[in-house]
Amino acid sequence: MSASAAPRRASPATRRATDDDLPALAQMLARAFFDDPVAIWTCRSERLRPRVLERFQAARLRHLLGDSEIWTTPSLTSAALWAPPKRWRTTPRQDLEIARISLMHPRMLVRAPLIGAGFIGMERKHPHQPPHWYLAVLGTDPSAQGQGLGSAVLRPVLEQCDADGVGAYLESSKERNIGFYARHGFRVTAELRMPRGPKLWAMWREPRG
């Protein structure tokens, strides 16, 4: 068989997450984001960081599950958490819940005002128009990276964006991920920075015709 006739690699299976998946997904995302620059800036303690990340991710999963656009793999080793158009902004109640469960540890309290200012500033830079899907979180377990799982869990909503003619937006906290997102149609539109912290890259995707 010639190289041109080689069978195409099948895309990994995906499905919408359910309530029963949330504990395992929160643990997986905590592992995926352990070395993330924003996570390190938020919680400098390597010992405490997994607990803080797991609680934060659990809260975001609960907030977004109602929109039925959390996509994962059957093995729960990758997940994309999406907010639909006009639903990307967190409510004050959700913000308080995240702060209460993530930042109330005594070692986190001293940094809470700085962390809060950083995330408020990031939200202020979020485009209000046109209506768009927001990729709030994308993570793959370190043990399962390099298998195409991130692309697979992105695909359902990106295909919906293209079908509906709607854009998509995200913030990348790792420069090395810019190329990955570019392959899916995103382009950098701005650079953001946390107070006395790391840089992020705002990225926008126009729908493909």
pLDDT (tens digit, 9 = 90+) per residue, 122-178? 888 999 999 999 999 999 999 999 999 999 999 999 999 999 999 999 999 999 999
3 is a domain residue: no
- Asked, for residue 190, whether it belongs to a domain, the answer is yes
pLDDT at position 6 is 45
Residue 59 lies in a domain: yes
Instruction: Report d(CA 68, CA 15) in Å as an integer.
Output: 10
Domain that holds residue 23: 15-205
Where is mean pLDDT largest: 3-12, 40-49, 95-104? 40-49
Count: domains in the chain: 1
Please report the pLDDT score of residue 1 as a whole number: 39
Q: Is the pLDDT of residue 72 over 50?
A: yes
Residue 4: inside a domain: no
pTM for this one? Answer: 0.90
141 assigned to some structural domain:
yes
Nearest to 23 by CA among 61, 52, 53: 61
Specify if 5 maps to a domain.
no
User: The domain that contains 111 carries what CATH number?
Assistant: 3.40.630.30
| pLDDT, averaged across the chain | 91
Interatomic CA distance for residues 175 and 177, integer angstroms? 5
- H-state helical runs in 110-193: 112-124, 149-164, 178-183
